[in-house]
């Protein structure tokens, strides 16, 4: 099973996309990213990116108090908007990949992953015959997925 697209290299772009809709504090940014990605990248990933974007002049922040806590609200600058506009095609590609990942999840990715985890646990104990069956099942799965992809691409032309 292929791993999900590596969004980490595109996280800055996704943060800027979230801020394009208006100013947000860090937690709200993470919640929006969670909707886009399917899980929250977490503070350890988001805040360093926000600092980087600030250092490049793509975002500004203002400090305030919300519900008795100090918060920083981040917003795109004109420079940030221009940068995001210049990367619009790349952003759309990343958003389409994430949409595909969410749809795959709805189609049963979780069941595949759960079976795969169970298989990993028993793999060291499987006899050669069992391992051959696993290889056959994987080959069959990959062949069927590739057939579907090829059929779609033929229709698309």
pLDDT, tens digit, for every residue of 81-111?
A: 999 999 999 999 999 999 988 888 888 888 9
CA distance 12 to 7: 9
Taking the C-alpha atoms of residue 90 and residue 85, their distance in angstroms, rounded to an integer, is 10
**Domain ranges, ordered by start, for the chain:** 8-89, 106-156
Instruction: Measure the CA angle with vertex 14, ends 8 and 106; round to 5°.
Output: 80
Both tokens of 64, joined, read 């305030």
Higher pLDDT, 3 or 137: 137
What confidence tens digit (pLDDT) does each residue in 36-59 have? 988 888 999 999 999 999 999 999
Question: In the predicted model, what is the mean pLDDT of residues 136-146?
Answer: 94
**pLDDT for 25:** 92
pLDDT of residue 2: 45
What's the whole-number mean pLDDT along residues 132-151?
94
Per the CB < 8 A criterion, the answer to whether 19 and 59 are in contact is yes
Is domain 8-89 given the CATH code 1.10.10.10 in the classification?
A: yes
Share of the chain above pLDDT 70, in %: 94
Q: Is the confidence at residue 5, as pLDDT, over 80?
A: no
In this structure, the number of other CB atoms found within 10 A of the CB of residue 3 comes to 5
Mean pLDDT calculated for residue range 73-81: 97
């Amino acid at each position: 099973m292929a791993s999900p697209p590596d969004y980490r290299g595109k996280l800055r772009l996704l943060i800027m996309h979230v801020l394009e809709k208006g100013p947000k504090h860090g937690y709200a940014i993470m919640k929006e990213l969670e909707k886009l990605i399917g899980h929250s990248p977490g503070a350890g990933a988001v805040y360093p990116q926000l600092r980087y974007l600030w250092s490049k002049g793509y975002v500004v922040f203002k400090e305030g108090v919300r519900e008795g806590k100090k918060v920083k609200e981040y917003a795109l600058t004109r420079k940030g908007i221009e940068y995001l506009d210049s990367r619009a095609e790349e952003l759309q590609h990343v958003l389409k990949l994430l949409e595909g990942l969410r749809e795959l999840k709805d189609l049963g990715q979780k069941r595949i992953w759960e079976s795969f985890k169970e298989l990993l646990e028993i793999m060291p104990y499987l006899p050669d015959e069992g391992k051959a069956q696993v290889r056959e099942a994987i080959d069959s799965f990959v062949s069927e997925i590739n057939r579907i992809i090829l059929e779609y691409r033929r229709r698309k032309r």
